Chain A
Amino acid sequence: MNQPPVIEIKNVSYRYDRDNVLENIQLSVPKGAFLGLVGPNGSGKSTLLKLILGLLKVKEGEVFLFGTPQKSFKNWDRIGFVSQKANSFNTGFPATVYEVVASGLTKKLGLFRRPGSKEKQAIKAAVEAVGMEAFLTRNIGELSGGQQQRIFIARAIVSKPDILILDEPTVGVDSKNVESFYNMLAYLNQQMGITLLLVTHDIGIISDKVTHVACLNKYLHFHGSMQQFETLDEEDLSDLYGHGIHLLDHHHEHQGADV
Protein backbone atom coordinates (compact mmCIF):
# COMPACT_ATOMS: atom_id res chain seq x y z
CA MET A 1 0.00 0.00 0.00
CA ASN A 2 2.89 2.29 0.71
CA GLN A 3 4.24 2.28 -2.81
CA PRO A 4 4.68 5.80 -4.15
CA PRO A 5 2.45 6.82 -7.03
CA VAL A 6 3.89 6.10 -10.46
CA ILE A 7 3.54 9.76 -11.39
CA GLU A 8 3.00 12.58 -8.95
CA ILE A 9 2.64 16.19 -10.03
CA LYS A 10 2.74 18.88 -7.35
CA ASN A 11 1.82 22.53 -7.89
CA VAL A 12 3.01 22.55 -11.49
CA SER A 13 2.39 25.66 -13.60
CA TYR A 14 3.74 26.30 -17.06
CA ARG A 15 3.72 29.21 -19.47
CA TYR A 16 4.92 29.71 -23.05
CA ASP A 17 6.10 33.31 -23.24
CA ARG A 18 3.28 35.11 -21.42
CA ASP A 19 0.44 32.62 -21.97
CA ASN A 20 -0.32 30.46 -18.99
CA VAL A 21 -0.95 26.95 -20.25
CA LEU A 22 -1.10 25.12 -16.96
CA GLU A 23 -2.02 26.58 -13.62
CA ASN A 24 -1.18 24.90 -10.32
CA ILE A 25 -1.72 21.28 -11.35
CA GLN A 26 -1.90 18.50 -8.73
CA LEU A 27 -2.18 15.04 -10.18
CA SER A 28 -1.18 11.57 -9.12
CA VAL A 29 -1.32 8.29 -10.98
CA PRO A 30 -1.42 5.37 -8.53
CA LYS A 31 0.19 2.08 -9.45
CA GLY A 32 -2.14 -0.15 -11.46
CA ALA A 33 -4.51 2.69 -12.38
CA PHE A 34 -5.98 3.38 -15.79
CA LEU A 35 -6.24 7.14 -15.75
CA GLY A 36 -8.04 9.05 -18.46
CA LEU A 37 -6.72 12.61 -18.78
CA VAL A 38 -9.43 14.50 -20.62
CA GLY A 39 -9.49 17.99 -22.00
CA PRO A 40 -10.39 19.91 -25.15
CA ASN A 41 -7.81 20.95 -27.73
CA GLY A 42 -5.44 23.55 -26.33
CA SER A 43 -6.17 22.61 -22.74
CA GLY A 44 -2.52 21.93 -21.94
CA LYS A 45 -2.69 18.11 -22.14
CA SER A 46 0.30 17.78 -24.45
CA THR A 47 2.28 20.29 -22.41
CA LEU A 48 1.61 18.29 -19.27
CA LEU A 49 2.79 15.10 -21.02
CA LYS A 50 5.97 16.81 -22.21
CA LEU A 51 6.64 17.97 -18.67
CA ILE A 52 6.19 14.42 -17.34
CA LEU A 53 8.45 12.96 -20.03
CA GLY A 54 11.10 15.60 -19.47
CA LEU A 55 10.78 16.99 -23.00
CA LEU A 56 9.94 20.35 -21.43
CA LYS A 57 11.64 21.62 -18.32
CA VAL A 58 9.55 21.90 -15.16
CA LYS A 59 10.06 25.46 -13.93
CA GLU A 60 7.32 25.80 -11.32
CA GLY A 61 6.30 22.93 -9.08
CA GLU A 62 7.63 19.40 -8.96
CA VAL A 63 7.21 16.11 -10.83
CA PHE A 64 7.97 12.78 -9.16
CA LEU A 65 8.33 9.54 -11.09
CA PHE A 66 8.14 6.37 -8.99
CA GLY A 67 8.78 8.57 -5.97
CA THR A 68 11.99 10.02 -7.40
CA PRO A 69 12.21 13.71 -8.33
CA GLN A 70 12.17 13.90 -12.12
CA LYS A 71 15.49 15.79 -12.24
CA SER A 72 17.37 12.82 -10.80
CA PHE A 73 15.25 10.13 -12.48
CA LYS A 74 17.27 7.73 -14.62
CA ASN A 75 15.13 4.66 -15.36
CA TRP A 76 13.34 6.03 -18.39
CA ASP A 77 12.83 2.51 -19.73
CA ARG A 78 10.19 2.07 -16.98
CA ILE A 79 8.05 4.57 -18.91
CA GLY A 80 6.61 3.69 -22.31
CA PHE A 81 5.21 6.37 -24.60
CA VAL A 82 2.95 6.12 -27.63
CA SER A 83 2.41 9.36 -29.52
CA GLN A 84 -0.18 10.29 -32.12
CA LYS A 85 0.96 8.10 -34.94
CA ALA A 86 0.68 10.74 -37.63
CA ASN A 87 3.55 12.67 -36.07
CA SER A 88 6.67 11.01 -37.16
CA PHE A 89 6.25 7.82 -39.05
CA ASN A 90 6.64 7.19 -42.74
CA THR A 91 3.98 4.69 -43.83
CA GLY A 92 5.90 3.59 -46.91
CA PHE A 93 8.76 2.33 -44.78
CA PRO A 94 9.65 -1.26 -45.70
CA ALA A 95 9.73 -2.73 -42.18
CA THR A 96 7.88 -5.76 -40.86
CA VAL A 97 5.81 -5.71 -37.70
CA TYR A 98 8.53 -7.77 -36.06
CA GLU A 99 11.24 -5.28 -36.98
CA VAL A 100 9.20 -2.32 -35.72
CA VAL A 101 8.49 -3.97 -32.37
CA ALA A 102 12.13 -5.04 -32.05
CA SER A 103 13.18 -1.42 -32.42
CA GLY A 104 11.53 -0.79 -29.03
CA LEU A 105 14.43 -2.66 -27.44
CA THR A 106 17.13 -0.44 -28.94
CA LYS A 107 17.77 1.61 -25.84
CA LYS A 108 17.41 -1.25 -23.39
CA LEU A 109 19.89 -3.45 -25.25
CA GLY A 110 22.44 -0.65 -25.50
CA LEU A 111 25.07 -0.06 -28.15
CA PHE A 112 26.49 -2.97 -30.14
CA ARG A 113 24.26 -5.62 -28.53
CA ARG A 114 21.94 -7.57 -30.78
CA PRO A 115 18.67 -9.16 -29.67
CA GLY A 116 19.08 -12.74 -28.41
CA SER A 117 16.51 -15.48 -27.84
CA LYS A 118 15.19 -13.81 -24.68
CA GLU A 119 14.52 -10.61 -26.61
CA LYS A 120 12.92 -12.52 -29.48
CA GLN A 121 10.47 -14.07 -27.03
CA ALA A 122 9.71 -10.66 -25.53
CA ILE A 123 8.95 -9.32 -29.03
CA LYS A 124 6.53 -12.17 -29.76
CA ALA A 125 4.87 -11.75 -26.35
CA ALA A 126 4.38 -8.01 -26.89
CA VAL A 127 2.82 -8.60 -30.30
CA GLU A 128 0.49 -11.24 -28.80
CA ALA A 129 -0.54 -8.87 -26.00
CA VAL A 130 -1.90 -6.42 -28.56
CA GLY A 131 -3.56 -9.23 -30.52
CA MET A 132 -1.45 -8.87 -33.67
CA GLU A 133 0.49 -12.15 -33.73
CA ALA A 134 -0.96 -13.06 -37.14
CA PHE A 135 0.80 -10.05 -38.68
CA LEU A 136 4.42 -10.56 -37.55
CA THR A 137 5.89 -10.74 -41.03
CA ARG A 138 3.65 -8.16 -42.69
CA ASN A 139 4.97 -4.75 -43.68
CA ILE A 140 3.79 -2.05 -41.31
CA GLY A 141 2.50 0.06 -44.20
CA GLU A 142 0.00 -2.63 -45.22
CA LEU A 143 -1.87 -2.40 -41.91
CA SER A 144 -4.82 -0.18 -41.05
CA GLY A 145 -4.40 2.84 -38.76
CA GLY A 146 -5.73 0.96 -35.75
CA GLN A 147 -3.51 -2.04 -36.38
CA GLN A 148 -0.48 0.22 -36.76
CA GLN A 149 -1.30 1.88 -33.47
CA ARG A 150 -1.44 -1.55 -31.80
CA ILE A 151 2.01 -2.25 -33.18
CA PHE A 152 3.31 1.00 -31.71
CA ILE A 153 1.88 -0.05 -28.37
CA ALA A 154 3.67 -3.39 -28.73
CA ARG A 155 6.87 -1.48 -29.45
CA ALA A 156 6.34 0.55 -26.28
CA ILE A 157 5.63 -2.45 -24.02
CA VAL A 158 8.33 -4.77 -25.37
CA SER A 159 10.85 -3.28 -22.97
CA LYS A 160 8.41 -4.07 -20.11
CA PRO A 161 7.68 -0.60 -18.77
CA ASP A 162 5.64 -0.10 -15.56
CA ILE A 163 3.59 2.68 -17.08
CA LEU A 164 2.42 3.36 -20.57
CA ILE A 165 1.54 6.93 -21.56
CA LEU A 166 -0.70 7.29 -24.61
CA ASP A 167 -1.33 10.60 -26.36
CA GLU A 168 -4.64 10.49 -28.28
CA PRO A 169 -3.87 6.98 -29.56
CA THR A 170 -7.15 6.62 -31.46
CA VAL A 171 -6.62 9.55 -33.82
CA GLY A 172 -5.95 7.28 -36.81
CA VAL A 173 -8.26 4.48 -35.70
CA ASP A 174 -11.44 3.61 -37.55
CA SER A 175 -14.47 4.44 -35.39
CA LYS A 176 -15.79 0.86 -35.53
CA ASN A 177 -12.47 -0.45 -34.19
CA VAL A 178 -12.12 2.04 -31.35
CA GLU A 179 -14.08 -0.15 -28.93
CA SER A 180 -11.84 -3.19 -29.39
CA PHE A 181 -8.81 -0.92 -29.20
CA TYR A 182 -9.84 0.21 -25.72
CA ASN A 183 -10.60 -3.40 -24.75
CA MET A 184 -7.02 -4.20 -25.63
CA LEU A 185 -5.80 -1.34 -23.41
CA ALA A 186 -7.98 -2.62 -20.56
CA TYR A 187 -6.37 -6.04 -21.05
CA LEU A 188 -2.87 -4.53 -20.75
CA ASN A 189 -3.96 -2.76 -17.59
CA GLN A 190 -5.80 -5.62 -15.86
CA GLN A 191 -3.97 -8.74 -17.07
CA MET A 192 -0.44 -7.43 -17.51
CA GLY A 193 -0.53 -4.94 -14.67
CA ILE A 194 0.68 -1.99 -16.71
CA THR A 195 -0.37 1.39 -15.32
CA LEU A 196 -1.95 3.49 -18.05
CA LEU A 197 -2.16 7.23 -18.55
CA LEU A 198 -4.40 7.93 -21.53
CA VAL A 199 -4.76 11.43 -22.92
CA THR A 200 -7.89 12.01 -24.95
CA HIS A 201 -10.48 14.64 -25.74
CA ASP A 202 -13.28 12.11 -25.59
CA ILE A 203 -14.22 10.74 -22.15
CA GLY A 204 -17.48 9.16 -23.31
CA ILE A 205 -16.10 6.11 -24.98
CA ILE A 206 -13.53 5.30 -22.32
CA SER A 207 -15.79 5.87 -19.32
CA ASP A 208 -16.41 2.18 -18.71
CA LYS A 209 -12.73 1.24 -19.12
CA VAL A 210 -10.80 3.72 -16.99
CA THR A 211 -10.46 3.56 -13.23
CA HIS A 212 -9.61 7.25 -12.72
CA VAL A 213 -10.41 10.49 -14.50
CA ALA A 214 -8.73 13.89 -14.58
CA CYS A 215 -10.30 16.80 -16.43
CA LEU A 216 -7.83 19.41 -17.55
CA ASN A 217 -8.36 22.82 -19.03
CA LYS A 218 -5.49 24.97 -17.89
CA TYR A 219 -6.64 24.15 -14.34
CA LEU A 220 -7.32 20.65 -13.20
CA HIS A 221 -11.10 20.66 -12.88
CA PHE A 222 -11.66 17.20 -11.55
CA HIS A 223 -9.42 14.43 -10.37
CA GLY A 224 -10.72 11.26 -8.84
CA SER A 225 -11.92 7.73 -9.38
CA MET A 226 -14.45 6.77 -12.01
CA GLN A 227 -17.10 6.09 -9.33
CA GLN A 228 -16.79 9.64 -8.05
CA PHE A 229 -16.88 10.96 -11.59
CA GLU A 230 -20.12 9.15 -12.34
CA THR A 231 -21.92 10.78 -9.43
CA LEU A 232 -21.45 14.17 -11.09
CA ASP A 233 -24.33 15.35 -13.21
CA GLU A 234 -24.17 17.08 -16.53
CA GLU A 235 -24.29 20.58 -15.09
CA ASP A 236 -21.47 19.93 -12.66
CA LEU A 237 -19.43 18.66 -15.55
CA SER A 238 -20.04 21.71 -17.67
CA ASP A 239 -19.05 23.92 -14.78
CA LEU A 240 -15.97 21.92 -13.95
CA TYR A 241 -14.84 21.69 -17.45
CA GLY A 242 -15.47 25.18 -18.70
CA HIS A 243 -16.60 24.25 -22.18
CA GLY A 244 -18.96 21.42 -21.54
CA ILE A 245 -17.93 17.90 -22.28
CA HIS A 246 -18.40 15.35 -24.98
CA LEU A 247 -20.19 12.60 -23.10
CA LEU A 248 -21.42 10.13 -25.65
CA ASP A 249 -21.04 6.68 -24.23
CA HIS A 250 -22.86 3.41 -24.45
CA HIS A 251 -25.24 4.10 -21.61
CA HIS A 252 -27.62 6.52 -23.15
CA GLU A 253 -28.73 8.12 -19.92
CA HIS A 254 -25.99 10.74 -20.42
CA GLN A 255 -26.66 12.95 -23.36
CA GLY A 256 -24.00 14.74 -25.32
CA ALA A 257 -23.47 18.34 -24.30
CA ASP A 258 -21.27 19.40 -27.14
CA VAL A 259 -20.41 23.04 -27.63
Chain B
Amino acid sequence: MIEAIGQYEFLQNAFLTGMIIGVIAPLLGAFIVVRRLSLIADALSHVTLAGIAAGLYFSQTFTFLAWLNPMYSGMVFSIIGSLFIERLRTVYKHYQELAIPIILSGGIGVGVIFISLADGFNTDLFSYLFGSVSAVSREDLWLICLISLIVIATVYLLYKELFLLSFDEEHAKASGIPAKSIHFIFIILVALVIAASMRIVGVLLVSALMTLPVAAAMRMAKGFKQTIAYSVLFGEIAVLAGLVSAFYLDLAPGGTIVVASILILLLVIAAKKFTKAG
Protein backbone atom coordinates (compact mmCIF):
# COMPACT_ATOMS: atom_id res chain seq x y z
CA MET B 1 0.00 0.00 0.00
CA ILE B 2 2.86 2.36 0.83
CA GLU B 3 4.15 1.83 -2.73
CA ALA B 4 0.69 2.57 -4.05
CA ILE B 5 0.65 5.85 -2.15
CA GLY B 6 3.98 6.74 -3.72
CA GLN B 7 2.60 5.94 -7.15
CA TYR B 8 -0.87 7.40 -7.21
CA GLU B 9 -1.61 11.02 -6.62
CA PHE B 10 -5.22 10.32 -5.66
CA LEU B 11 -4.05 8.11 -2.80
CA GLN B 12 -1.67 10.78 -1.56
CA ASN B 13 -4.52 13.26 -1.63
CA ALA B 14 -6.83 10.93 0.27
CA PHE B 15 -4.29 10.09 2.97
CA LEU B 16 -3.09 13.64 3.51
CA THR B 17 -6.67 14.87 3.69
CA GLY B 18 -7.51 12.05 6.09
CA MET B 19 -4.60 12.96 8.38
CA ILE B 20 -5.70 16.60 8.41
CA ILE B 21 -9.37 16.02 9.15
CA GLY B 22 -8.36 13.43 11.74
CA VAL B 23 -6.94 16.42 13.62
CA ILE B 24 -9.43 19.21 13.03
CA ALA B 25 -12.71 17.29 13.28
CA PRO B 26 -12.03 15.88 16.79
CA LEU B 27 -10.39 19.18 17.83
CA LEU B 28 -13.59 21.12 17.22
CA GLY B 29 -15.59 18.08 18.23
CA ALA B 30 -14.24 18.34 21.79
CA PHE B 31 -15.83 21.79 22.14
CA ILE B 32 -19.01 20.65 20.36
CA VAL B 33 -19.53 17.66 22.65
CA VAL B 34 -18.95 19.48 25.93
CA ARG B 35 -21.27 22.28 24.82
CA ARG B 36 -23.92 19.68 23.96
CA LEU B 37 -24.09 20.86 20.38
CA SER B 38 -23.47 17.47 18.74
CA LEU B 39 -26.78 17.68 16.90
CA ILE B 40 -25.92 21.06 15.44
CA ALA B 41 -23.01 19.41 13.63
CA ASP B 42 -25.49 16.88 12.28
CA ALA B 43 -27.92 19.55 11.11
CA LEU B 44 -25.13 21.50 9.41
CA SER B 45 -23.86 18.42 7.62
CA HIS B 46 -27.28 17.94 6.08
CA VAL B 47 -27.32 21.56 4.94
CA THR B 48 -23.91 20.94 3.40
CA LEU B 49 -25.48 18.04 1.51
CA ALA B 50 -28.01 20.47 0.02
CA GLY B 51 -25.13 22.72 -1.04
CA ILE B 52 -23.29 19.86 -2.68
CA ALA B 53 -26.38 18.69 -4.51
CA ALA B 54 -26.97 22.25 -5.69
CA GLY B 55 -23.34 22.52 -6.83
CA LEU B 56 -23.50 19.22 -8.71
CA TYR B 57 -26.75 20.21 -10.37
CA PHE B 58 -25.59 23.66 -11.46
CA SER B 59 -22.24 22.47 -12.74
CA GLN B 60 -23.95 19.74 -14.81
CA THR B 61 -26.78 21.88 -16.10
CA PHE B 62 -25.11 25.17 -16.93
CA THR B 63 -21.94 24.95 -18.97
CA PHE B 64 -20.73 28.33 -17.70
CA LEU B 65 -20.78 26.87 -14.16
CA ALA B 66 -18.92 23.69 -15.09
CA TRP B 67 -15.90 24.89 -13.07
CA LEU B 68 -17.93 24.90 -9.85
CA ASN B 69 -16.46 22.58 -7.22
CA PRO B 70 -19.42 21.34 -5.11
CA MET B 71 -17.21 21.74 -2.05
CA TYR B 72 -17.52 25.51 -2.38
CA SER B 73 -21.29 25.47 -2.63
CA GLY B 74 -21.40 22.99 0.26
CA MET B 75 -19.28 25.35 2.36
CA VAL B 76 -21.45 28.35 1.50
CA PHE B 77 -24.66 26.47 2.37
CA SER B 78 -23.12 25.23 5.61
CA ILE B 79 -22.20 28.74 6.70
CA ILE B 80 -25.63 30.08 5.75
CA GLY B 81 -27.19 27.17 7.65
CA SER B 82 -25.14 28.02 10.75
CA LEU B 83 -26.41 31.60 10.61
CA PHE B 84 -29.98 30.32 10.35
CA ILE B 85 -29.52 28.04 13.35
CA GLU B 86 -28.30 30.93 15.48
CA ARG B 87 -31.20 33.07 14.30
CA LEU B 88 -33.74 30.32 15.07
CA ARG B 89 -32.19 29.73 18.47
CA THR B 90 -32.91 33.34 19.41
CA VAL B 91 -36.41 33.26 17.87
CA TYR B 92 -37.33 30.12 19.84
CA LYS B 93 -35.54 31.04 23.05
CA HIS B 94 -37.24 28.36 25.13
CA TYR B 95 -37.10 25.64 22.48
CA GLN B 96 -33.52 25.99 21.30
CA GLU B 97 -33.31 22.41 20.05
CA LEU B 98 -36.17 23.14 17.65
CA ALA B 99 -33.66 24.88 15.38
CA ILE B 100 -31.99 21.52 14.71
CA PRO B 101 -34.87 19.54 13.14
CA ILE B 102 -35.89 22.62 11.15
CA ILE B 103 -32.45 23.05 9.65
CA LEU B 104 -31.81 19.33 9.30
CA SER B 105 -35.01 18.55 7.42
CA GLY B 106 -34.67 21.77 5.45
CA GLY B 107 -31.21 20.64 4.35
CA ILE B 108 -32.39 17.21 3.25
CA GLY B 109 -35.45 18.72 1.56
CA VAL B 110 -33.47 21.14 -0.56
CA GLY B 111 -30.86 18.45 -1.21
CA VAL B 112 -33.44 15.96 -2.45
CA ILE B 113 -34.94 18.57 -4.79
CA PHE B 114 -31.59 19.20 -6.44
CA ILE B 115 -30.84 15.47 -6.60
CA SER B 116 -34.16 14.82 -8.39
CA LEU B 117 -33.55 17.74 -10.74
CA ALA B 118 -30.17 16.23 -11.62
CA ASP B 119 -31.93 12.94 -12.38
CA GLY B 120 -31.15 10.93 -9.32
CA PHE B 121 -28.00 9.50 -7.83
CA ASN B 122 -24.71 9.17 -9.56
CA THR B 123 -21.30 8.04 -8.34
CA ASP B 124 -20.25 11.62 -7.68
CA LEU B 125 -23.04 12.17 -5.22
CA PHE B 126 -22.43 8.78 -3.62
CA SER B 127 -18.84 9.76 -2.87
CA TYR B 128 -20.00 12.97 -1.20
CA LEU B 129 -22.51 11.08 0.91
CA PHE B 130 -20.24 8.35 2.23
CA GLY B 131 -16.71 9.50 1.41
CA SER B 132 -14.26 8.18 -1.13
CA VAL B 133 -10.63 7.14 -1.34
CA SER B 134 -10.35 8.18 -4.96
CA ALA B 135 -12.37 11.36 -5.25
CA VAL B 136 -10.10 13.87 -3.47
CA SER B 137 -8.43 16.17 -5.99
CA ARG B 138 -5.31 18.28 -5.45
CA GLU B 139 -7.55 21.33 -5.45
CA ASP B 140 -9.66 19.81 -2.67
CA LEU B 141 -6.51 19.06 -0.72
CA TRP B 142 -5.29 22.67 -0.92
CA LEU B 143 -8.67 23.99 0.16
CA ILE B 144 -8.73 21.57 3.09
CA CYS B 145 -5.20 22.65 4.10
CA LEU B 146 -6.35 26.27 4.10
CA ILE B 147 -9.44 25.47 6.17
CA SER B 148 -7.41 23.52 8.71
CA LEU B 149 -4.91 26.37 9.06
CA ILE B 150 -7.77 28.77 9.79
CA VAL B 151 -9.35 26.35 12.27
CA ILE B 152 -6.17 25.52 14.18
CA ALA B 153 -5.02 29.15 14.35
CA THR B 154 -8.41 30.34 15.58
CA VAL B 155 -8.69 27.64 18.24
CA TYR B 156 -5.13 28.40 19.38
CA LEU B 157 -5.73 32.14 19.61
CA LEU B 158 -9.19 31.96 21.19
CA TYR B 159 -8.56 28.88 23.32
CA LYS B 160 -9.24 30.43 26.72
CA GLU B 161 -12.37 32.22 25.52
CA LEU B 162 -13.70 29.05 23.86
CA PHE B 163 -12.93 27.09 27.01
CA LEU B 164 -14.76 29.53 29.27
CA LEU B 165 -17.72 29.69 26.89
CA SER B 166 -17.93 25.90 26.89
CA PHE B 167 -17.45 25.44 30.61
CA ASP B 168 -19.72 28.17 31.91
CA GLU B 169 -21.56 30.24 29.34
CA GLU B 170 -23.26 32.42 31.93
CA HIS B 171 -20.02 33.28 33.64
CA ALA B 172 -18.45 34.02 30.27
CA LYS B 173 -21.18 36.53 29.51
CA ALA B 174 -21.11 38.06 33.00
CA SER B 175 -17.33 38.48 32.94
CA GLY B 176 -17.59 40.66 29.87
CA ILE B 177 -15.84 38.65 27.17
CA PRO B 178 -17.50 39.02 23.73
CA ALA B 179 -19.35 35.72 24.14
CA LYS B 180 -21.69 36.25 21.20
CA SER B 181 -18.94 36.96 18.69
CA ILE B 182 -16.84 34.07 19.97
CA HIS B 183 -19.78 31.69 19.65
CA PHE B 184 -20.46 32.98 16.15
CA ILE B 185 -16.84 32.40 15.09
CA PHE B 186 -17.06 28.93 16.58
CA ILE B 187 -20.15 27.99 14.57
CA ILE B 188 -18.49 29.21 11.37
CA LEU B 189 -15.49 26.99 12.18
CA VAL B 190 -17.83 24.03 12.59
CA ALA B 191 -19.34 24.74 9.18
CA LEU B 192 -15.86 24.90 7.62
CA VAL B 193 -14.71 21.64 9.22
CA ILE B 194 -17.81 19.84 8.00
CA ALA B 195 -17.14 21.02 4.47
CA ALA B 196 -13.50 19.93 4.75
CA SER B 197 -14.25 16.50 6.17
CA MET B 198 -17.01 15.38 3.85
CA ARG B 199 -14.68 14.34 1.01
CA ILE B 200 -13.28 11.55 3.17
CA VAL B 201 -16.01 10.56 5.63
CA GLY B 202 -18.99 11.81 3.65
CA VAL B 203 -21.60 14.35 4.59
CA LEU B 204 -23.81 11.90 6.44
CA LEU B 205 -21.01 10.69 8.71
CA VAL B 206 -19.04 13.88 9.38
CA SER B 207 -20.58 14.39 12.80
CA ALA B 208 -19.44 10.90 13.81
CA LEU B 209 -15.79 11.89 13.33
CA MET B 210 -16.46 14.98 15.45
CA THR B 211 -18.17 13.19 18.32
CA LEU B 212 -17.12 9.52 18.59
CA PRO B 213 -13.39 10.11 19.27
CA VAL B 214 -14.38 12.73 21.87
CA ALA B 215 -16.82 10.34 23.52
CA ALA B 216 -13.96 7.84 23.90
CA ALA B 217 -11.48 10.50 25.06
CA MET B 218 -13.80 11.80 27.79
CA ARG B 219 -13.85 8.36 29.38
CA MET B 220 -10.16 8.50 30.20
CA ALA B 221 -8.87 12.08 30.05
CA LYS B 222 -7.91 14.29 32.97
CA GLY B 223 -8.84 17.79 32.01
CA PHE B 224 -9.87 19.45 28.78
CA LYS B 225 -6.48 19.70 27.06
CA GLN B 226 -6.02 15.98 27.56
CA THR B 227 -9.51 15.38 26.21
CA ILE B 228 -8.51 17.23 23.03
CA ALA B 229 -5.23 15.32 22.77
CA TYR B 230 -6.90 11.91 23.14
CA SER B 231 -9.68 12.91 20.75
CA VAL B 232 -7.18 13.81 18.06
CA LEU B 233 -5.23 10.61 18.69
CA PHE B 234 -8.36 8.45 18.41
CA GLY B 235 -9.51 10.44 15.38
CA GLU B 236 -6.20 9.78 13.61
CA ILE B 237 -6.28 6.07 14.40
CA ALA B 238 -9.86 5.79 13.15
CA VAL B 239 -9.13 7.65 9.91
CA LEU B 240 -5.98 5.65 9.16
CA ALA B 241 -7.55 2.28 9.96
CA GLY B 242 -10.66 3.28 8.05
CA LEU B 243 -8.80 4.45 4.94
CA VAL B 244 -6.54 1.38 4.79
CA SER B 245 -9.44 -1.03 5.11
CA ALA B 246 -11.52 0.98 2.64
CA PHE B 247 -8.65 0.80 0.12
CA TYR B 248 -8.08 -2.97 0.44
CA LEU B 249 -11.71 -4.02 0.75
CA ASP B 250 -12.97 -1.49 -1.80
CA LEU B 251 -15.47 0.07 0.61
CA ALA B 252 -16.65 3.62 1.19
CA PRO B 253 -14.26 5.10 3.80
CA GLY B 254 -17.10 6.87 5.64
CA GLY B 255 -18.37 3.50 6.79
CA THR B 256 -15.01 2.03 7.74
CA ILE B 257 -13.91 5.17 9.62
CA VAL B 258 -17.11 5.27 11.64
CA VAL B 259 -16.90 1.55 12.45
CA ALA B 260 -13.26 2.02 13.51
CA SER B 261 -14.31 4.94 15.77
CA ILE B 262 -17.01 2.83 17.36
CA LEU B 263 -14.55 -0.01 17.96
CA ILE B 264 -12.18 2.42 19.69
CA LEU B 265 -15.04 3.73 21.80
CA LEU B 266 -16.09 0.21 22.83
CA LEU B 267 -12.49 -0.72 23.64
CA VAL B 268 -12.06 2.35 25.83
CA ILE B 269 -15.32 1.72 27.66
CA ALA B 270 -14.39 -1.95 28.20
CA ALA B 271 -10.85 -1.09 29.32
CA LYS B 272 -12.23 1.45 31.77
CA LYS B 273 -14.66 -1.13 33.20
CA PHE B 274 -11.91 -3.70 33.43
CA THR B 275 -9.44 -1.44 35.27
CA LYS B 276 -12.17 -0.33 37.67
CA ALA B 277 -13.17 -3.90 38.40
CA GLY B 278 -9.53 -4.93 38.84
Residues of chain A having any CB pair with chain B under 8 Å: 53, 55, 76, 81, 83, 87-90, 92-96, 98-100, 102-103, 105-107, 109, 111-112, 114-115, 137-139
Between A and B, 25 residue pairs with Cβ closer than 8 Å are A53-B174, A55-B174, A76-B175, A81-B174, A88-B168, A88-B169, A89-B167, A90-B167, A94-B218, A94-B222, A94-B223, A94-B226, A94-B227, A96-B222, A96-B224, A99-B163, A100-B167, A105-B160, A106-B160, A106-B161, A107-B176, A111-B157, A112-B157, A115-B160, A139-B223
Residues of A near B170 (CB, < 8 A) are 83, 87-88
Chain B contact residues, CB within 8 Å of chain A: 34, 36, 157-161, 163-164, 166-172, 174-177, 217-218, 221-227
Choice from B34, B168, B175, B223 contacting A107 with Cβ under 8 Å: B175
Closest residue of chain B to A76, judged by CB? Answer: B176
Interface of B is mostly: helix
Residue of B nearest to A140 (CB): B167
Chain A hits for B175, CB < 8 A: 76, 106-107
CA distance A98 to B226 in the complex (A): 13
Chain B residues with CB under 8 A of A93:
34, 166-167, 224
Contact B223 A88 (CB under 8 A): no
Give the docked Cα–Cα distance between A134 and B123 (Å).
59
Option from B34, B217, B221, B222 in Cβ contact (under 8 Å) with A90: B34
**Across-interface contacts of A90 in B (CB, < 8 A):** 34, 36, 167
Q: Do the beta carbons of A109 and B160 come within 8 Å of each other?
A: yes
- 10 smallest A-B Cβ distances: which pairs? A96-B223, A88-B170, A94-B227, A103-B164, A107-B175, A95-B224, A106-B164, A106-B160, A112-B157, A94-B218
A139 B177 Cβ-Cβ under 8 A: no
Find chain B residues with CB under 8 A from A100 CB: 167
Q: Are B163 and A103 in contact, with the CB atoms below 8 A?
A: yes
In addition to A93-B34, A93-B167, A103-B160, 13 A-B residue pairs with Cβ atoms within 8 Å of each other are A53-B174, A88-B170, A90-B36, A90-B167, A93-B166, A93-B224, A95-B163, A95-B223, A106-B160, A106-B163, A112-B157, A112-B158, A139-B222
Tell me the nearest residue of chain A to B171, going by C-beta.
Answer: A88
Q: Are B223 and A137 in contact (CB under 8 A)?
A: yes
Which residues on B sit within 8 Å (CB–CB) of A83? Answer: 170-171
Residues of the A chain whose Cβ atoms lie less than 8 Å from the Cβ of B176: 76, 107
A141 to chain B minimum Cβ distance, whole angstroms, is 10
Which A residues lie within 8 Å of B218 (CB)? 92, 94
Q: Which residue of A lies closest to B166 (CB)?
A: A93
Our pick among B167, B222, B225 for the contact of A103 (Cβ within 8 Å) is: B167
Rounded to whole Å, the gap between the CB of B213 and the closest CB of chain A is: 13
